[in-house]
């Protein structure tokens, strides 16, 4: 098996600009040397929300395969921020090739039934990741339920996640809490 160009290390991003990156009205260009992973269907971007300017308005990402010249566009058009826009530091974008989105958008409803066993409830923060044939959902916090007090003994909580990229046929669910 051939070794990837980055020799087992995470791909590196090499800025082509010597000016500050991610400034307003500026295009930033990076070269990444990775194995061919086409066809592209989606991209997930995450920021840490730290520093003197912890927010970023991401318009779009244009990805060009330097060997083939193929272009793939990922459009977001919103803030990655804890205070603005969708109030999230993570976004998923559908690949757009020749004006056509490569994935469908959908909504998911997750119902969680807490057992009737004595002490079964929790006040901890609960999270899930949904896995399907088209990848995973990323970490989803189960926080907006119709029930004011979630995850109580013998109760069912329902959570809605709208405007998500379709995961296709679902195959696995990871659930955990933070012990708080």
Q: What is the mean pLDDT of the chain?
A: 87
The whole-number pLDDT of residue 3 equals 35
Are residues 101 and 95 in contact, defined by beta-carbon separation less than 8 angstroms?
Answer: yes
**Mean pLDDT on 73-102:** 93
Architecture per CATH, domain 36-101, reads as Sandwich (2.60)
Residues 6+ apart with CB under 8 A from 22: 28, 56
Nearest one of 59, 64, 63 to 22, comparing CA atoms: 59
Strand (E) positions, 32-155?
42-46, 56-64, 71-80, 90-97, 100-101, 105-113, 126-132, 135-136, 140-141
Are residues 36 and 11 in contact, defined by beta-carbon separation less than 8 angstroms?
Answer: no
Q: Is the fold of 36-101 the same as that of 105-177? A: yes
**Res 78 pLDDT > 70:** yes
CA distances from 79 to 60, 104, 137 (A): 11, 22, 19
pLDDT tens-digit readout, 99-109: 899 999 999 99
The whole-number pLDDT of residue 67 equals 86
The whole-number pLDDT of residue 18 equals 55
Residue located via tokens 């004011």: 148
The whole-number pLDDT of residue 96 equals 92
Annotated domain spans of the chain: 36-101, 105-177
Give percent of the chain above pLDDT 70. Answer: 89
Q: Which of 43-47, 56-60, 112-116 has the highest mean pLDDT?
A: 112-116
Q: The domain 105-177 is classified under which CATH number: 3.40.640.10, 1.10.760.10, 2.60.60.20, 1.10.10.10?
A: 2.60.60.20
pLDDT tens-digit readout, 122-142: 999 999 999 999 999 999 999
């Amino acid at each position: 098996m051939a070794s990837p160009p980055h020799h087992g290390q995470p791909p590196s991003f090499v800025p082509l600009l010597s000016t500050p990156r991610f400034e307003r009205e500026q295009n930033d260009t990076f070269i990444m040397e990775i194995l061919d992973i086409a066809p592209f269907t989606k991209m997930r971007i995450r920021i840490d929300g730290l520093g003197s300017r912890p927010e970023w308005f991401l318009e779009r990402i244009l990805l060009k395969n330097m060997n083939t010249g193929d272009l793939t566009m990922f459009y977001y058009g919103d803030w990655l921020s804890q205070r603005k826009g969708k109030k999230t530091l993570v976004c998923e974008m559908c690949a757009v090739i020749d004006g056509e989105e490569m994935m469908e958008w959908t909504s998911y409803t997750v119902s969680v039934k807490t057992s009737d066993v004595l002490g079964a409830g929790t006040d901890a923060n609960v999270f899930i990741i949904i896995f399907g044939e088209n990848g995973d959902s990323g970490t989803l916090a189960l926080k907006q339920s119709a029930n004011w007090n979630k995850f109580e003994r013998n109760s069912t909580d329902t959570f809605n996640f709208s405007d998500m990229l379709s995961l296709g046929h679902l195959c696995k669910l990871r659930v955990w809490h933070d012990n708080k």
